[in-house]
Structure 1
Amino acid sequence: MHHDVEPWILEMTGASRISRWEKLQTLWSGYGQIWRVSLQGGRAESMIVKHVRPPVVENLPTEADGDVSHQRKLRSYEVEANWYEHWSGKLTDGCRIAGCDGISRADGGIVFLLEDLDAAGFASRFSSADANTVKAGLEWLARFHMRFLHCQPAGLWETGSYWHLATRRQEWHVMADHHPLKPLATAIDEQLSRCRFPTIIHGDAKTDNFCVAPDGRSVAAVDFQYVGGGCAMKDVVYFLESATGDSDRQSQGDSLLDRYFAECRRHWPGNGGESSDAGDFDDFESECRRLYVFAWADFERFLAGWCRQPIATRGYRFSMMQRVMNELR
């Protein structure tokens, strides 16, 4: 694999040679690998190479859902390429991501040449024990959502996230018939889809996709395969699901939401006297707080079909599910 892309990497970086290839991980379902390359004589000492090489069709599942999953993954990498080529440059300094030095498409695959965030000062990873880091992640999401409020997701997913109902019909079908969210799935999806303040969402905002500065007070995001339009609360819910435990959500959930909305208010389009048709911030916050519980129920619906998760009967997620069921019934 290396000899296929080495000349291109050297050309893009101005390096004289690659002294080391370090494999970091295999992409989901074997669709490629991510490497760190050590460079000599170039603009950077190291870069990250994300080499997408989908499996041959003969090795994929033959059932219909296997093809649906395959097409979703192929589309996700095209979306990520579109993100870096046409959207990432619109971000402000407060939304740090890995810079992209180049994208190459050849032989049915895609190669991303990305900034090494470890070398850029984001070498730490997430710890739910660090409250500052959780807050930093929420503030990053707030700035991201405010930057793209009311933007049309051209070239991205029309609906961001990898679990929304339209692309997860098979998971819905295998949900237990007695699951209380199964008959409500469409109504929940419609509530989120009809939000009056759509934005661009990261779509996979789990803690694994954030790199952290040593002081834990700033983060940088990676992995934009499922970036697209939608309700901001889907990102917030998925982030909190991965960043906090149930007891933390029960004791701190309101204050964490308050932190997110405070950062949204600071970056609300039109602040500072600029004209804006974004609407009223209080209306935005009111709608998002209401849809927050729907985003939890939507994710619970996905988990119930994807990993056959038992029906929640207590805790924070259960309380969110109950509030949705009470409103819709």
Structure 2
Amino acid sequence: MTSTVEPVFKSWVKSRLQDPDVEAFSLLQTLWSGYGQCFRFFSPKLNRNLVAKAVQPPETINHPKGWNNDISHQRKLTSYQVERHFYKHVRASLMLPAPELIAEDQHDEALLLIMSDLDSQGFDQRHETLTFEQAQTVLRYLAAFHATFLVLKNDTVSECAGLWPRGTYWHLATRQQELNAMPDSALKQKAAAIDKLLADCPYQTIVHGDAKVANFCFKARTCQNGSVAAVDFQYPGSGVGVQDVAYFIGSALNEDDQATATGTCLDIYFEALKRALRDSSTPPAVIPDDVEESWRYLYPIACADFQRFLEGWSPGHWKLNATLEALTKQALDTLPC
């Protein structure tokens, strides 16, 4: 695997910015399944560091979990177009730290997004796991994010135009192959009912859709408001906020903290969500206490929905732990046989 930025991507950035002196290219990561690169560079013309995501699907697809097929390919291509739409048309409504789109370009399946550099704004800390104290900042960020876009269910069509009709990268409609790969179980049998409960909730929002710890950038003082920013908006769309919360807790906290602190994490999230809803221009019909009641009930349902995906996609995945299993069982016990 290369550790440098591809020359074709360097040329593309220079051409798009009309800045032949762009320099200091630094590879941040290779995109999932080798679909391109994310890298930082300095633009003398703009006198600032920027970050680019350059998408160029490989000739031979090599999915880390073996899902090498056209369905997976098309889903990834759609996700990059959704990300482009988010930065162009949704980002401006978000009064929270996140990259801003500086320039973009497309040639067939190849896509270039040039964005502001969060490191230059002080968000230069990355973590693989978080303490309970650090996680609180992200929970409050997610609460403010969800409050920004919260609407009644019938309004989500216009709110989410250009995004995924249903957010999260594990959404059932886009993961039928993974569902078919699951062994027969109550979870598999009730997958559609779980999906319907999430879709039918009267309170919907735009979910981030991939709110893992790796997609948050921190300032040094990670417990302060405004000290975290989100990146990687490939899977936003209509959903309930606890879908993001369930995925975040499962990715950020160790198993012991998940077992002991999940309830407190939900308390922190809902306190921040209700405060944000009361301070925003939310439609009068959106009642903060009712939102909490609806979404608290759906938290185990959201956990079961994610476990359904993992069991089909990667049965031995490390996120399949005792806490997730217990919450999934709780969800299944509430559903009719």
Q: Normalising by structure 1, what TM-score?
A: 0.90
Deviations 1:247-269 (A, max 9, x none): 2122111111010011111111x
Tell me the secondary structure at the aligned position of residue 161 of structure 1.
Answer: coil
Instruction: Note the C-alpha offset of 1:131.
Output: 2.8
Q: Normalising by structure 2, what TM-score?
A: 0.88
Q: 2:14 matched to 1:6?
A: yes
Cα separation, 1, equivalents of 2:258 and 2:309 = 20
Are the equivalent residues in 2 in contact too, given 1:160–1:230 (CA < 8 A)?
A: yes
Identity %: 37
Cα separation, 2, equivalents of 1:275 and 1:128 = 33
Deviations 1:35-74 (A, max 9, x none): 1112335231x11111011224xx348x997011011011
Are the equivalent residues in 2 in contact too, given 1:126–1:133 (CA < 8 A)?
A: no
Cα separation, 2, equivalents of 1:313 and 1:6 = 44
Are the equivalent residues in 1 in contact too, given 2:251–2:319 (CA < 8 A)?
A: no
Q: 2:243 matched to 1:234?
A: yes
Match of 2:57 in 1: 54
Residues 135/169 of structure 1: CA separation in 2 closer, same or farther (3 Å cut): same
Query: Which moves more between the two structures, 274-283 or 311-320?
Result: 311-320
Residues 60/129 of structure 1: CA separation in 2 closer, same or farther (3 Å cut): closer
Residues 82/275 of structure 1: CA separation in 2 closer, same or farther (3 Å cut): closer
Match of 2:84 in 1: 81
Match of 2:167 in 1: 160
Q: 2:183 matched to 1:172?
A: no
Residues 289/110 of structure 1: CA separation in 2 closer, same or farther (3 Å cut): same
Cα separation, 2, equivalents of 1:149 and 1:123 = 30
Tell me the secondary structure at the aligned position of residue 119 of structure 1.
Answer: helix
Match of 1:137 in 2: 138
Instruction: Note the C-alpha offset of 1:276.
Output: 2.5
Cα separation, 2, equivalents of 1:220 and 1:200 = 17
Cα separation, 1, equivalents of 2:143 and 2:317 = 32
Query: Which moves more between the two structures, 310-319 or 296-305?
Result: 310-319
Are the equivalent residues in 1 in contact too, given 2:146–2:241 (CA < 8 A)?
A: yes
Cα separation, 2, equivalents of 1:313 and 1:119 = 36
Match of 1:263 in 2: 272
Are the equivalent residues in 1 in contact too, given 2:167–2:235 (CA < 8 A)?
A: yes
Match of 2:211 in 1: 205
Are the equivalent residues in 2 in contact too, given 1:127–1:133 (CA < 8 A)?
A: no
Match of 2:4 in 1: none
Match of 2:46 in 1: 42
Please tell me the root mean square deviation across aligned C-alpha atoms, in Å.
Answer: 2.2
Residues 32/276 of structure 1: CA separation in 2 closer, same or farther (3 Å cut): same
Instruction: Note the C-alpha offset of 1:7.
Output: 2.4
Instruction: Note the C-alpha offset of 1:3.
Output: 1.8
Residues 191/85 of structure 1: CA separation in 2 closer, same or farther (3 Å cut): same
Which of residues 91, 94, 100 in structure 2 aligns to 1:91? 94
Instruction: Note the C-alpha offset of 1:318.
Output: 1.9
Structure 1 residues without counterparts, runs of 5 or longer: none
Deviations 1:170-193 (A, max 9, x none): 00111112x331111111111111
Instruction: Note the C-alpha offset of 1:275.
Output: 7.2
Are the equivalent residues in 2 in contact too, given 1:148–1:200 (CA < 8 A)?
A: yes
Are the equivalent residues in 1 in contact too, given 2:33–2:61 (CA < 8 A)?
A: no
Cα separation, 1, equivalents of 2:216 and 2:318 = 29
Residues 22/167 of structure 1: CA separation in 2 closer, same or farther (3 Å cut): same
Matches within 5 A, 1:281-292: 281-292=288-299
Cα separation, 2, equivalents of 1:123 and 1:87 = 24
Instruction: Note the C-alpha offset of 1:204.
Output: 0.4
Structure 2 residues without counterparts, runs of 5 or longer: 1-7
Which of residues 12, 18, 23 in structure 1 aligns to 2:27? 23
Cα separation, 1, equivalents of 2:77 and 2:318 = 32
